Amino acid sequence: MPSTSTTPRSAIWLPIFAGLCASLVSIGLARFAYTPLIPSLIQAHWFSASDVVYLGAANLVGYLIGALIGHPLARRTSNKSALRLMMLAVTLSFFACGFPLSVSWFFGWRLLSGVAGGAIMVLVAATVLPHVPASRRGLASGAIFLGIGLGIAGSGTIVPPLLSLGLQNTWFGLGALALVLTAASWFGWPSATHTVIAAPSAEPSTMPTDPNVYLLFAQYAFMAAGLVPAMVFLVDYVARGLGAGAHIGALIWVMYGLGAIIGPVSYGFLADKLGARLSIRLVLVVQAVAVGLLSISSAFTALALLAVILGSFPPGIVPLALARVHELIPNHHQQQIAWSRATVSFATFQAIAGFAYSALFNASGGHHALLFILAAGAIVIALLLEQGMRLLNRRGRLQPVLS
């Protein structure tokens, strides 16, 4: 590891910039730019409404696969090479999606973009943060995942004017943007990557045993299930469900993106001031209320405010969960193992929820409010899990390890 006391400022911020570009391209654009495109994909008759919804879930399934193969891929190459390869894969998927050859073709490329996002999520922090002084790692983590928020906000502002050029040119435009960001970050990755995580079977002693770690995995999983409906259906809910049109839907998505920009920084500030555990509890309460209100809201002002709150959740909980891992596990190597498993837990429930919500949406005849109510329920479950563990501790079923 380089000496942080003598590391030039540029050597610190260049990897952070590369990480920001990676999260922006692979999640901010690859996943979230699809949401404002849903009404246009349906109206242009590229695919049926039911197919478009399932194609959105393809990215979530890919994310799970990527979270599982990220470290094995890095072991065969290097962290830096794996990250570059995944950004190129996302860029290629954008251009490929400009050709609606078939549902399976489109599904495959949307799946690949998700694989890249999952792999980048488990690798980017482990690649960048060890090169950052400990005193700046909280800020660095927020800056890396700020890319997700910038991608969401960018998709809301870039997609509408691109759509005026046609749906195919919209995909090509997103591909060009991804290519520019990939090139800009190409030489920003650390010149010497750190050793990636060894296979879990080789080091069984590093498996986390603190029940709080498993509690975090479970909470993170239900958070994933709770954020999917707004993430996937918000624009369609406003544009078609409420009949407000694609323009108003895009405006609401910009507000969602604004919240996504605010999320990582504000959630990181909460973690610094209140601790990650209390911050997670507070955030879950606010999000459960916001998702519940979304199911009964139709006024633009209310929708805009709720969109900001809901938009802060997907990128904001990433540094918050990472901070909780660091609170619970002091060893860096074990932290990376726990973070990888937390990401897999998140990705698993996100993928399952993506298909479950899609099936329910089609079966209910496009009932958006039902999906938001179920999402609120998932967030409430995440909130109640900690209370359930407290009750078990009081009954002596677990060691009293809550701190």
Question: Domain segments of the chain: what residues?
Answer: 9-194+209-393
For residue 399, pLDDT beyond 90: no
Average of per-residue pLDDT values in the chain: 83
CA dist 131 and 114 (Å) reads 27
Torsion sign, CA atoms 327, 329, 330, 331: negative
pLDDT band at residue 232 under the 50/70/90 scheme: confident
Which residue type sits at 375?
Answer: A
Phi, psi torsion values for 299, nearest 5 degrees: -70, 140
Question: Helix 332-363 vs helix 49-76: angle between axes, to the nearest 10 degrees?
Answer: 160
**Which whole number is the average pLDDT over 28-33?**
86
- 234 neighbors 310 (Cβ within 8 angstroms): yes
CA dist 97 and 105 (Å) reads 8
> What global pTM score does this model have?
0.77
C-alpha torsion 85→256→223→121, nearest 10: 10
Q: Domain 9-194+209-393 is classified in which CATH homologous superfamily?
A: MFS general substrate transporter like domains (1.20.1250.20)
Range list of H helices, 97-136: 103-128
Phi, psi torsion values for 45, nearest 5 degrees: 60, 30
161-184: per-residue pLDDT in tens? 888 898 899 999 999 999 999 999
CA dist 386 and 384 (Å) reads 5
pLDDT at residue 136 in the model: 66
The tokens of 384 are what? 């109640």
For residue 392, pLDDT beyond 50: yes
CA dist 225 and 6 (Å) reads 43
CA dist 80 and 90 (Å) reads 16
